[in-house]
């Protein structure tokens, strides 16, 4: 049986690692949050004292971390995974980071005789819990094939998008579409509210038409309830859009809609709201319009 190491037990990593355990994989975990570690260990995982211990005993190592600097430090830094990883180890970085960083870190792994794919996810906490994430992968096809069955435990749609970095490029494209959809949804519901049409009625009327989407189904109920408990925090979406803009500038693509939504999110951050779910983008419109779309925000 493949021995799996898992580093990063946040909102997404914790349920993802539990699904691997449910599927019968032996999993050794590490995170600085000891409560998160204890929770996964209670489900059958083994605890590692540090990254070196994870690497020494794992065939496949999954990382689920906040951003490029953390992934680089965990793999390449002093005491990192690459110090003790055995040749042939496969690293599966499921963090959402800059694709340029993915390629650079992958090159360092290759120097140690290890392989890497980038495999960021979409779907938020609910789909991490039920194992139905969309997983966008980049890397050598043969390496992808070695870990595809493991990825399918955590995701319903698992796609190899191209070479290393292609997964994160695809994820950045996903984050553009999600961000702009959430902003448009908030704008549309506020139009209804100000015009005297019940936003809930608007949602029910348009959800089955061309405007309907997974984003609408997930985020409209939160806006209408004024419940912004984070499944995916605004702060994390800001991080992703920073990577979008950086990558876009590097290849010379125009990103005017991304830049606009980024400014909306940055304003919410200035108001201390970046800890809320990204559906709280509607609060940008609520502040400007002087009314709420749904119930008072929680």
Q: Is residue 295 part of a domain?
A: no
List helix spans (H) across the chain: 13-22, 34-41, 51-56, 68-76, 81-84, 99-111, 124-130, 141-154, 166-195, 199-206, 214-225, 234-251, 256-270, 282-289
Nearest to 124 by CA among 85, 174, 72: 174
Last residue of one domain, picked from the residues 142, 164, 186: 164
Greatest Cα pair distance in the chain = 65
Check whether residue 15 and residue 154 sit in a common domain.
yes
Check whether residue 202 and residue 151 sit in a common domain.
no
Three-state DSSP class for 291?
coil
Check whether residue 39 and residue 128 sit in a common domain.
yes
Q: For residue 107, give the CATH number of its domain.
A: 3.40.50.720
* pLDDT of amino acid 275: 97
Check whether residue 223 and residue 150 sit in a common domain.
no
**Predicted confidence (pLDDT) per residue in 14-33, tens digit:** 999 999 999 999 999 999 99
Last residue of one domain, picked from the residues 164, 192, 225: 164
Residue ranges of the chain with per-residue pLDDT less than 70: 296-298
> How many independent structural domains does the chain possess?
2
Catalytic residues: 171
CA distances from 120 to 4, 14, 158, 282 (A): 17, 15, 10, 26
Q: Is residue 241 part of a domain?
A: yes
Check whether residue 226 and residue 156 sit in a common domain.
no
Check whether residue 138 and residue 241 sit in a common domain.
no
d(C-alpha 292, C-alpha 199), whole Å:
10
Q: Is residue 298 part of a domain?
A: no
Check whether residue 14 and residue 159 sit in a common domain.
yes
d(C-alpha 220, C-alpha 185), whole Å:
7
**Predicted confidence (pLDDT) per residue in 65-83, tens digit:** 999 999 999 999 999 999 9
pTM above 0.85, yes or no: yes
Check whether residue 195 and residue 284 sit in a common domain.
yes
Nearest to 241 by CA among 175, 192, 159: 175
Check whether residue 131 and residue 77 sit in a common domain.
yes
Q: For residue 267, give the CATH number of its domain.
A: 1.10.1040.10
d(C-alpha 68, C-alpha 50), whole Å:
19
Please check whether residue 241 is in contact with residue 233, taking contact to mean a CB–CB distance below 8 angstroms. no
* pLDDT of amino acid 296: 66
Last residue of one domain, picked from the residues 148, 164, 180: 164
Nearest to 36 by CA among 21, 61, 15, 5: 15
Q: Which range of residues forms the domain containing residue 75?
A: 4-164
* pLDDT of amino acid 298: 54
* pLDDT of amino acid 124: 86
d(C-alpha 177, C-alpha 173), whole Å:
7
Check whether residue 111 and residue 249 sit in a common domain.
no
Q: Is residue 258 part of a domain?
A: yes
CA distances from 183 to 7, 115, 180, 293, 294 (A): 33, 38, 5, 13, 15
CA distances from 38 to 50, 172, 256 (A): 15, 32, 44
* pLDDT of amino acid 231: 83
Q: How far apart are the first and last CA of the chain?
A: 45
Q: Is residue 296 part of a domain?
A: no
Check whether residue 141 and residue 180 sit in a common domain.
no
Under DSSP, the state recorded for 281 is G
Check whether residue 96 and residue 134 sit in a common domain.
yes
């Amino acid at each position: 049986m493949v021995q799996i190491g898992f580093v990063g037990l946040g909102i997404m990593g914790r349920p993802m690692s539990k699904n691997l355990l449910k599927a019968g994989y032996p999993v050794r975990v590490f995170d600085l949050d000891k409560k998160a570690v204890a929770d996964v260990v209670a489900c059958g995982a083994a605890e590692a004292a540090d990254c070196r211990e994870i690497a020494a005993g794992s065939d496949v190592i999954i990382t689920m971390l906040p951003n490029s600097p953390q992934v680089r430090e965990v793999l390449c830094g002093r005491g990192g995974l690459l110090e003790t990883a055995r040749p042939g180890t496969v690293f599966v970085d499921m963090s959402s980071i800059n694709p340029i960083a993915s390629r650079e870190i992958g090159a360092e792994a290759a120097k140690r005789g290890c392989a890497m794919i980038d495999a960021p996810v979409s779907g938020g906490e609910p789909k991490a819990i039920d194992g139905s994430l969309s997983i966008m992968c980049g890397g050598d096809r043969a390496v992808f094939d070695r870990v595809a069955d493991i990825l399918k435990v955590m995701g319903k749609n698992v796609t190899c998008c191209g070479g290393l970095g292609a997964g994160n490029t695809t994820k950045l494209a996903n984050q553009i579409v999600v961000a702009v959809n959430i902003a448009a949804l908030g704008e549309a519901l506020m139009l209804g509210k100000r015009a005297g049409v019940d936003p809930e009625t608007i949602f029910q009327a348009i959800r089955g038409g061309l405007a309907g989407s997974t984003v609408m189904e997930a985020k409209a109920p939160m806006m209408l309830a004024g419940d912004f408990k984070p499944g995916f925090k605004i702060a994390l979406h800001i991080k992703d859009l920073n990577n979008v803009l950086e990558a876009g500038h590097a290849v010379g693509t125009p990103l005017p809609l991304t830049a606009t939504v980024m400014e909306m999110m940055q304003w919410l951050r200035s108001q201390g709201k970046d800890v809320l779910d990204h559906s709280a983008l509607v609060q940008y419109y609520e502040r400007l319009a002087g009314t709420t779309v749904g119930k008072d925000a929680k």
